[in-house]
Amino acid sequence: MEKEKKRILIFSVAYLPFVGGAEVAVKELTDRLTDCYFDLVTVNLDGRQKKLETIGRVNVHRVGISKICKYTFPISGFLKAWSLQKKNSYDATWAIMANYAGLAGLFFKYKFPKIPLVLTLQEGDPLPHVKKRMLLLYPLFKSLFRKADKITAISNYLANWAREMGATSPVAVVSNGVEVKKFQVSSFKFQVAEKRHELGFKEEDVVLVTTSRLVKKNAVGDIIESLRFLPENVKLLVVGSGPLFKSLQLLTTHYSLQTRIKFVGHVVPDKIREYLWASDIFIRPSLSEGFGNSFIEAMAAGLPVIATPVGGIVDFLKDGETGLFCKVNDSKSISEAVLRLVNDPALKNKIIENASKMVTDKYDWHIVATEMRSEVFNRLIK
């Protein structure tokens, strides 16, 4: 007799087509947790999305009419969840991030205390900023950590934060992942030379790449400044968009680096791997990072990674083994790390090989989904 599937209700402020690390994680995990049914309540961030649609294995229910409605999501999300509970009788709820989605999950927990609440921490912003955004809701925000029946965190850094916030339930580290085969260039008929030529790079160029939102915490400006200390054949490919797009272009002009930096703007997730394959070194000198999907995607794509030792990055990047560290807000340190890789092919190859094996053995989405099933849902839902 086939085991009855469990019903899980997810709270998330954002969801596809609005893409970030947390949204990708929900899609990848729900696609693989085939022994559960999923409903998801989210904000209609641009007011243009359908109120109800199915994406993958998730029924997506949207509330609100614009981005500003995220501030009322603790109430609107809870009320929508309450109405869905009357029809579906959920076995568990799952809040993605300790933000307004977490508060919606908390209100649901107050109303239905016997239904287990899972809180998954995916925060990438500096934690003081996360707390500050709660303002008058901070006492409720802190109680979320005590009321959750299970907390998962994508890094040890966030797991420690949960404990500092007073978590009374067990905290499990279940990282984000990557579809390894999808990022291995050997699995596809892809012409690297043609892509580099299309982007304006020569064969002898050393192409640095960063894939990220252009916001302060990702410190793309530090990479731009590092080119001043590097040879002319070292170029930079900036993949992503964000509020700092124009100011980063102005910084490029200020240092007369227009011929060495290529901004490509927003790229759909399925195309990002092509820009990685066309590059030589991945860099993101983050000021903060909960985990950093982009780093392990670059590792899976066969690139050596340069990063800062902040947040969850230290879980997977070991200096000189699976990548190189540079200092925070230090463009000279970035340039020194680049030159180490350029001048020491043996070190570069060792890092690529070690990182590739690590990602395959530990961070493939199938492995992560198995951990989420065994460590969380199977233990919580009887």
Q: Is the dihedral of CA 106, 152, 366, 271 positive or negative?
A: positive
**Per-residue pLDDT tens digits of the chain, which is 382 residues long:** 346 789 999 999 999 998 888 999 999 999 999 999 999 999 999 999 999 999 999 999 999 999 999 999 999 999 999 999 999 999 999 999 998 999 999 999 999 999 999 999 998 877 777 777 777 778 888 999 999 999 999 999 999 999 999 998 889 999 999 999 999 987 777 888 899 999 999 999 999 999 989 999 999 999 999 999 999 999 999 999 999 999 999 999 999 999 999 999 999 888 999 999 999 999 999 999 999 999 999 999 999 999 999 999 999 999 999 999 999 999 999 999 999 999 999 999 999 999 999 999 999 999 999 999 998 998 888 6
- Kindly state whether residue 314 falls inside one of the protein's structural domains: yes
3-state class (DSSP) for residue 101:
helix
- Kindly state whether residue 203 falls inside one of the protein's structural domains: yes
* Beta strands 234-239 and 206-211, pairing class: parallel
Question: Are residues 266 and 161 both part of a single domain?
Answer: no
d(CA 294, CA 105): 28
d(CA 156, CA 175): 9
Question: Are residues 187 and 158 both part of a single domain?
Answer: no
CB 95 within 8 A of CB 73: no
Supply the DSSP symbol for 97: S
Question: Are residues 190 and 297 both part of a single domain?
Answer: yes
What's the pLDDT at 2? 46
Question: Are residues 323 and 374 both part of a single domain?
Answer: no
- Kindly state whether residue 324 falls inside one of the protein's structural domains: yes
- Nearest Cα to Cα of residue 151 among 130, 176, 170, 123: 170
- Nearest Cα to Cα of residue 217 among 299, 165, 286, 275: 286
- Kindly state whether residue 1 falls inside one of the protein's structural domains: no
- The count of structural domains within the chain is 2
CA geometry: angle 68, 70, 76, nearest 5 deg: 115
Question: Are residues 280 and 370 both part of a single domain?
Answer: no
Which domain range does residue 253 map to?
180-362
Question: Are residues 273 and 144 both part of a single domain?
Answer: no
Question: Are residues 39 and 163 both part of a single domain?
Answer: yes
3-state class (DSSP) for residue 11:
strand
Question: Are residues 355 and 221 both part of a single domain?
Answer: yes
- Record the pTM: 0.91
Question: Are residues 369 and 314 both part of a single domain?
Answer: no
Question: What angle do the packed helices 73-88 and 100-111 form, to 10 degrees?
Answer: 50
- Kindly state whether residue 201 falls inside one of the protein's structural domains: yes
- Kindly state whether residue 325 falls inside one of the protein's structural domains: yes
Any idea what the CATH number is for the domain that residue 76 is in? 3.40.50.2000
| Residue whose token pair is 């950093």 | 292
DSSP bridge pairs for 59:
39, 54
What's the pLDDT at 118? 96
What is the residue-wise DSSP string for 340-380? HHHH-HHHHHHHHHHHHHHHHHH-BHHHHHHHHIIIIIHHH
Continuous segment of H or E residues that includes residue 193: helix 192-199
Q: Is the dihedral of CA 375, 357, 162, 68 positive or negative?
A: negative
Question: Are residues 91 and 194 both part of a single domain?
Answer: no
Question: Are residues 156 and 199 both part of a single domain?
Answer: no
Q: Is the peptide bond before 17 cis (omega within 30 degrees of 0)?
A: yes
Question: Are residues 168 and 192 both part of a single domain?
Answer: no
What's the pLDDT at 19? 81
DSSP bridge pairs for 199:
none
Which parts of 61-176 fold into alpha helices (H)? 73-88, 100-111, 127-132, 138-147, 156-164
| Residue whose token pair is 């961070």 | 363
